[in-house]
Amino acid sequence: MGYKIKVLLFLLVVTAMGVLLRSEYTNLPQLIHQSIWCCFSKDNLVFIRRVGPFLSANINISEDAFTWWKNIQEEKNDFTYYKATVKKLFKIFPPVPTFGKSSTGRTKTCAVVGNSVNLKGSGYGPLIDLNDAIIRMNYAQIRGYEADVGTKTTHHVMYPESAVNLDGATHLLLLPFKIQDLEWLIQAFTTGFYGKSYAPLKSKIRANKDLVMVISPAFMWYVHEIWLQNKRGYPSTGFMTLVLALHLCDQVNVFGFGADSDGNWSHYFEVLRNKRLKTGLHPGRDQYDLIQFLAVRKAIKFYKGV
């Protein structure tokens, strides 16, 4: 077959796929429900692959995924040590994590509630509380902010340095950045953790150990590589949580993401002191643009705040 004919056939295939994929944009949530994950360009779906979001006793990550993950915070221990730690993990916590209450583990409507200052004065509280699952993250606070952020939490995403106590009905979703984070989870529920990190750590945490889930390092790598095309250091907790929700929920409603009207990235529960911080190691602008893209394509509903 001649070179020109090969090129022509390739262009015809690409054009046909483009038409098909564009027609599927309005049904993007349906694609996601089937665990078919897509990489986005500005105008089209260009990649498909499958990735599981949680660690389990039966499924481990590849050494390639571990190699990417260990560089986030300069992990010194090797893959063998990591696997041994994960084995200990599932002697304490559910070996097969389940996100939802249905037999499929899916949840109908999910609110992903970020911590952006643009929630202040939004009045979104009642709307957030209407969701079947309400996912908060890190230091999220409710008391005193109920009118804007709601009153309920079903799932709370955290890493050890941002850990907060939970009630017995809330799922703890650990986002680990190093093996010590997995060790912290084990010890915070048992003997107490007494190691050190770049920020103070809780020795013990109050939460229901039967509702603990650990986000997979392979999923983190996937979000960074495919969704964010390897931009900056690694995805933010908020963006990771949003992609996680797309994987697990029928409808995803997004609140509390983005900068304020002056372009500052700050939290609704604190006074901004360092206006030059922006989004640190995270590709904040790229993440926000992708959130808006998903909203335009009706993959999510995005409530921008004030």
146/15 same-domain check: no
This prediction's pTM: 0.82
Parent domain of 22: 1-50
**Structure letter (DSSP) for residue 207:** S
46 and 59 both lie in a single domain: no
Confidence (pLDDT) at 92: 97
Do 151 and 42 share a domain, yes or no? no
| Residue linked to tokens 């409507």 | 109
- Residue 150 sits in the same domain as residue 116: yes
Six-digit token string for 170: 């809330």
Rounded CA separation 253/248 (Å): 13
Write out the two tokens for 211.
């509702």
Residue 177 pLDDT? 96
The neighbouring-strand residues paired with 214 are 174
* Residue numbers in the chain where pLDDT is lower than 50: 3-37, 41-48, 279, 282
pLDDT score, position 20: 32
- Do 223 and 116 fall within a single domain? yes
Task: Supply the pLDDT for residue 5.
Answer: 38
* DSSP H or E stretch at residue 8: helix 3-24
DSSP-derived secondary structure letter, 60 = -
User: Do residue 10 and residue 77 come from a single domain?
Assistant: no
Q: Are 236 and 279 in contact (CB under 8 A)?
A: yes
Helix (H) or strand (E) holding 38: strand 37-40
| pLDDT tens by residue, 208-256 | 999 999 999 999 999 998 888 888 678 889 999 999 999 899 999 999 9
Query: Catalytic residue among 82, 124, 159, 234, which?
Result: 234
Query: Is residue 124 annotated as part of the catalytic site, yes or no?
Result: no
pLDDT at res. 49 = 54
From 69, 67, 27, select the one nearest 45 (Cα to Cα).
27
What value does the CA radius of gyration of the chain take, rounded to a whole number of Å? 20
The yes-or-no answer on residue 234 being catalytic is yes
**Pairing assessment for the beta strands 107-113 and 37-40 based on DSSP bridges:** unpaired
Final residue of a structural domain among 13, 34, 50: 50
Is 44 in the same domain as 170? Answer: no
H/E element, 87 = helix 79-89
| Domain at 182, CATH number | 3.90.1480.20
- Do 27 and 155 lie in a common domain? no
Q: Which of the following is catalytic: 156, 224, 267, 282?
A: 282
Number of domains in the chain: 2
Residue 273: its pLDDT value, please? 65
Q: Which of 33, 50, 67 is the last residue of a domain?
A: 50
